[in-house]
Amino acid sequence: MVSDAEEAAFEVGIKFGALYHQFAGTPVSPASAGSLETAIEESIENQPHCVGVTVDVLEDRLAAALADSPADYTELTGEFMEVEVVVDYEGVEAVARMAMRDGYPLMELVETEG
């Protein structure tokens, strides 16, 4: 038996894994960060039970990384974005976020509530 809160947690986990592994590696620069944010949000919001995706591609951090580089773009990784995903499964909402912790991007389930 699986509770609705567990289903909601499962669904928000799927969205996070999908988002990260679909878009990690995408060429990105400060100038193209905005269109990538919108596309990630709208694509993942297509998935079942997904009620909201907020992606912030960190243009300042991109610019800082590129300042030391011969290139003018890099590949999207967890250090360059902050993400929040909200799922609703049968009236139970689950919220998850990706944040940097100790230099590593960490996906965390913030709450389930229904």
Residues 3-42 touching a second copy, rule: CB under 8 A, are 3, 5-22, 24-29, 31-32, 35-36, 38-40, 42
Smallest gap from residue 67 Cβ to a second copy (A): 14
Binding of a second copy by 114 (CB under 8 A): no
Strands (E), the chain: 27-28, 50-57, 74-75, 81-89, 92-101, 104-113
Give the containing element (helix H, strand E) for 37.
Answer: helix 33-44
Tell me the Cα Rg of the chain: 15
Beta pairing partners, 23: none
Residues 65-84 touching a second copy, rule: CB under 8 A, are 69-73, 75, 77
Say if residue 1 carries a ligand binding annotation: no
Looking at residue 31, what DSSP letter applies? G
Instruction: Using CB under 8 A, list all residues that contact a second copy.
Output: 1-3, 5-22, 24-29, 31-32, 35-36, 38-40, 42-47, 69-73, 75, 77, 94, 96, 102, 104, 107, 109-112
